[in-house]
Amino acid sequence: MKINIINKSQHALPSYETIASAGMDLRANLTESIVLQPLDRTIVKTGLFIELPIGYEAQVRPRSGLAAKHGITVLNSPGTVDADYRGEIGVILVNLSNQAFEIQNGERVAQLIIAKYERAEWIEVEELTETSRGAGGFGSTGVK
């Protein structure tokens, strides 16, 4: 699949690090670093603008290393970039640690995954088919 992209950052285009990687790293495109205090959030710009085909989305997901080592994650995970969006990709980061974290220009702040999706059409009915699970909710399928 080929996707049109405009890169207004000074960084290379996102790329897959290995042959089996699902996501490409997004880098912060900053003129000065951002200090993210505990429990603060910010939108980090990437300098990237994309044109996705209809039927695809770009998912913005956290990087496991930032989350595990520093408590930094994507707040609306996964964030969705719709096929008709033409603005700059931004990443909403939140600091869930108890220490300030400095985001520097070029830092890998999130992953971008391109995913196909289906559009649903609702069919209103009076009842749904029965299943063994029924209306069992959160945690209802685990071992008791």
What percentage of the chain has pLDDT greater than the value 90? 90
Predicted pLDDT at 142: 67
Residues of each annotated binding site for substrate: 63-65, 76, 80-82
pLDDT at residue 132 above 80?
A: yes
Question: Which neighbouring-strand residues pair with 80?
Answer: 59
Q: How many CA atoms lie less than 13 Å away from 31 in the CB half-sphere? A: 1
pLDDT at residue 144 above 60?
A: no
pTM beyond cutoff 0.85: yes
Burial state string for 32-56 with b = 16 or more CB within 10 A and e = fewer than 16: eebebeeeeebebbbbbebebeeeb
Residues of each annotated binding site: 63-65, 76, 80-82
pLDDT tens-place string over residues 71-126: 999 999 999 999 999 999 999 999 999 999 999 999 999 999 999 999 999 999 99
Provide the 3-class DSSP secondary structure of residue 38: coil
Cα(2)–Cα(21) distance, integer angstroms: 17
Output the CATH code of domain 4-14+24-116.
2.70.40.10
133 against 77, higher pLDDT: 77
pLDDT at residue 136 above 80?
A: no
